[in-house]
Amino acid sequence: MSADILRAGEERMAKSLDALRRELSTIRTGRANPSLLEHLQVEAYETHVPINQVASLSAPEAHLILIQPWDRNVIQAIERALQRSELGLNPSNDGQVIRVPVPPLTEERRREFVKVVKQRAEEARVAVRNIRRDDMEQLRRLEHDGEMSEDQAQRAQAQLQKVTDRFVEQIDEVARRKETELLEL
């Protein structure tokens, strides 16, 4: 019973960590990276679709993202979506492909992004701690209902704390790497 709770809690914590990684990959560094645009929604075919469902994205150079639409009719829609995004990118198209130059970040902008990284990391830590709190309550309930002994509950809670600590360390490491990536010139 407690093993199921621990396993489910660990899976939910892993999902929080994965969500943080995905979110941080969309934060712009000085280098071109197609993942910067993956969250972008394009109005095409009378609906909103992710950009990677209407075009292929690549980064042939360190400061350029190349977007090759599968259908030339969506070039204008992709361009509009890029201009409306908060990424501060200026796309240009030649009728076949869209080139998106990624300018180097200013020091001030880098610092702002570092703050965003720290905020997102803290949100992930809070999510992991909330999972721990919920699982601790379940373990206490099982102990209170007599479905497990006090010793079993203590061991399960200690195990849960170790898992939580491990995920918090991983979150800190992911955030540290992203901060380093942002601050390097």
Domains assigned to the chain = 2-25+106-183 (1.10.132.20), 34-101 (3.30.1360.40)
- Answering whether pTM is above 0.85, one says no
Positive or negative: CA dihedral 178, 89, 105, 62: positive
The amino acid sitting at 141 is R
| Region 138-157 average pLDDT | 91
Percentage of the chain modeled with pLDDT above 90: 39
Least confident window among 10-19, 63-72, 98-107, 128-137: 98-107
Beta-strand ranges (E) seen in the chain are 41-44, 47-50, 55-61, 64-69, 92-93, 98-101
Q: What confidence score (pLDDT) does residue 185 get?
A: 60
- pLDDT tens digits, one per residue of 9-19: 999 999 999 99
Flag whether pLDDT at 41 surpasses 90: no
Q: Evaluate whether 37 touches 160 at the Cβ level (below 8 Å).
A: no
| Region 128-150 average pLDDT | 93
Q: What confidence score (pLDDT) does residue 8 get?
A: 94
Flag whether pLDDT at 84 surpasses 90: no
Beta-strand ranges (E) seen in 86-146 are 92-93, 98-101
